[in-house]
Chain A
Amino acid sequence: MDGSSFMEGLFISLEPMNILWIIIGGFLGTIVGMLPGLGPATAVAVLIPVTFGMEPVSAIILMAAIYYGAMYGGSRSSILINTPGDGSAIAATFDGYPMAQKGQAGEALAISAVASFIGGLIAVVGFIFLAEPLANFALEFGPAEYFLLMLLTLSAIVALSIGKMVKGFLAMMLGLTLSTIGIDTQTGVYRFTMGIPHLSEGIDFLIVIIGVYAIGEVLYNLLTIDQEKKEKKKVGKVWFTKEQWKRSKWPILRSGPIGFLIGVLPGAGGSIASMISYTTEKQISKKPEEFGEGAPEGLAAPESANNAASVGAMIPLLTMGIPGSGTTAVMLGALIMLGLRPGPLLFEQQPETAWALVNSMFIGNIALIIINILLVGLLVKILDTPAKVLYPIIVLLAFIGTYTLSYSTIDFFLLLIFGFFGLFLKVMDFPLAPLVLALIVGGEMEQNFRKALLSSDGSLDIFFSSGVSIVLVILTVVSLLYPLIFKFFKRRNLANKTDKISKSS
């Protein structure tokens, strides 16, 4: 690290105009993150014409603020209406929504904001000291390692589906099947596109998220609307309790670094980071049975991880010019237009720009926690909104969000299909996350598996050939066997207890 450029960057990021951009970007990001379908990638893309007239350094600061701002925002709708705004906010529905249903919406919103904040800070500090070595570490990840990382992510489905394992796996298989739709990159063959050019790039997982969660949720509530109790839902306090903080503290601190590391890997990103941190916490928790029922740590962990991942994703972008996610890809395009070329020469030729961005992320996270805590009081009012007002708005937003994905009305049909499909899954009590998760990682997982085998001439040894891959294999196996281990210990505990009881008697 180079001290004087760091200070110079700090001063640039503290210029009033840039602070204003940080706040605007963070606020915009929070809003688009909240709305289903409208993600940071869309927001950054829409802003490209605006950035034409800006200083390149302000442009990159603004775009980054939108990106991590969306990580804060994404979980708002997960918690309040069980509808994730983006792939990385799916994990926030697992415990965030149950918390809201228990009347702890305010606490849930507050703790997720704090978790995002701490995760972000951990990642920015990591960025300052570890950018270079981590960029090199990310290069170690070849097709075999990526395949195994995605396999590990899918093994999370086991942890998620305890109690309804068969349904969880069925949903996952469906997701994997859907992910094969589209052009096969290795051979250029079209699979299951039914002659529709629109399908050649596959089904956008965001449509499926919006469909099964947002539309599905609305339809489901329409079915049950008559049974709904008329009593007003409680929203709880706007700050969390000491007990909740005590339970979340360590998960937040553990998940930040996990998310950061995964974010550094090009192509992995927030969805995988939040999923892996969620299952990690569930598996090491002393009370895993509370996960999914509104455990604060089950919300705090993925929130810390996905925000850290968004900061981590800046590392390959800035040090190698390689976008690690959809949003950073759009950022790269926009920055090149402005004559700022992120890449190996950026830290040599324009170190102050790079450090201005890093410092702006510090300021941005501080601004965002203030924005989001202030918003808690306002957002919980959504729960008071009568269904006849709220549901049409959700449906409208779902359609708008879907349209912005590829400006095509064909997606509306897909949205409705998946909406009804989501309703079906809900009625049949299938978990939704395995379906979406498998769709998110499925395509890449398959391509990486085949690339790995192509480069090893078909030998499976490649999956055990590096330290990283062996660690990933072990983690996956542990994760898969975890329910058995869990049962075993539970039984032993039970046996011990009965032993004691029988002894004492």
Chain B
Amino acid sequence: MKKFGMIAILLLLLIMTACSSGASSGDEYPSKNLEIVAPASPGGGWDLTARSVENVLSGQKLVEENINVVNKPGGGGEVGWKYLESKDSHSLAINSSLVLTNNLLGQSEMTYEGFTPIATLATEWQSLAVPPDSEYESAKELLEAIKEDPASIKIGVGPGLGNDDHLSLVQAASEFGIDPSQMNFLVYEGGGDVVTALLGGHVDAVTTSLSEVKDQYLADKLNILAVSSDKPVEGIEDVPTWTDQGIDLVFPHWRGIMGPPDMTEEEIAYWDEKLSEMVETEEWQKVLENNDWEGFYKNSEETKAFMDEQHNLYKSLIEDSGLVK
């Protein structure tokens, strides 16, 4: 019995080496099944992004090879991206600003430069919301009150400090001359809990993704004081942007996709072609619409420049926020 086990293992090893050597032998890319890593549990934002990309690429026959979505949750993306680091160019992973902030906050050794930028896909916008009967009717009024007594205004945020929800308001406050490290943030489990806390009057304001509060706003359950987009958002054109209110701030909450280190130019070009086709499809537009996302496509080169620029921005924001000393 033991012998048989050994033989089976040996055979398996043989097959495995055969496969991996096949992959690296200069065949046309991609030479085997592709993999998109969602560094989160099924059902979360990253997972849905990965599955949408897979669904459109395969469904529209843009990519012939099988694409598997693999979930590697944990450590705010850390586990999934570490996994990607060890894979070959047939694996890609979904990312967001956490790939920058994990390192800046001292929570991870990995840096964004350790991966190959492939594309930026879509963005959401951030919002600042208050209860409908709030005494603050504009973002400026609220910021004035915070400036006067930073601790007096309770602001809900989730699921953790240092994320885009938190940092977008940090940036707005800094622009307004407030020391963000003095502000009173209450951290909730997630976007939904933040909204519940606001509706129940347990916090004075919340900073969260626009999609969490848009329907509530349309149902008159709360008031949105500002959105972080560059122009008014479709469906809620009456909500002013930060720039409309004289605060120089456009803050995308983007999602992108990246590859393991050292991908070749041909491999990168392959994805530039496929993904630029994908974002033009009707199906992708539908995905954007359903999720309240906005198209934010940048190809690999643009994404590289964008990441550098974002890295510098986040670095200064995190310093302002007082999270890292």
Contacts and interface: CB of A to CB of B under 8 A. Distances in A.
Contacts of B162: 188
B289 interface: yes
Interface of A: 41-42, 44-46, 48-49, 52, 138-143, 183, 185-188, 190, 197-198, 200-201, 266-267, 316, 320-323, 329-334, 336-339, 341, 343-345, 348, 406-408, 444, 447, 451, 454-455, 457
Given A52-B55, A320-B195, A344 B78 contact: no
A337 to B, nearest CB: 6
B310 interface: no
A442 to B, nearest CB: 14
Contacts of B286: 339
A93 B187 CA distance: 35
Given A188-B105, A337-B51, A348 B193 contact: no
Given A44-B43, A337-B291, A185 B159 contact: yes
Q: Nearest 6 A-B pairs (CB), nearest first?
A: A45-B42, A330-B43, A197-B75, A139-B200, A344-B219, A142-B202
Contact of A406 (B52, B74, B82, B287): B74
B320 interface: no
Contacts of A408: 72, 74, 79
Given A190-B107, A320-B195, A339 B75 contact: no
Interface centre among A49, A188, A338, A444 (most CB of B within 10 A): A188
Nearest to A317: B192
Contact of A197 (B43, B82, B151, B289): B82
Contact of B186 (A200, A332, A455): A455
Contacts of A139: 196, 199-201
21 contacts: A44-B43, A138-B196, A139-B200, A139-B201, A142-B197, A185-B158, A188-B161, A197-B74, A197-B82, A200-B78, A201-B75, A266-B193, A329-B190, A333-B47, A343-B216, A344-B216, A344-B219, A407-B70, A454-B154, A455-B202, A457-B151
B103 to A, nearest CB: 13
B181 interface: no
B186 A451 contact: yes
Contacts of A42: 42
A190 B106 CA distance: 11
Contact of A407 (B73, B154, B192): B73
A457 B286 CA distance: 46
A137 to B, nearest CB: 10
B192 A200 contact: no
Contacts of A455: 154, 186, 202-203
A267 B184 contact: no
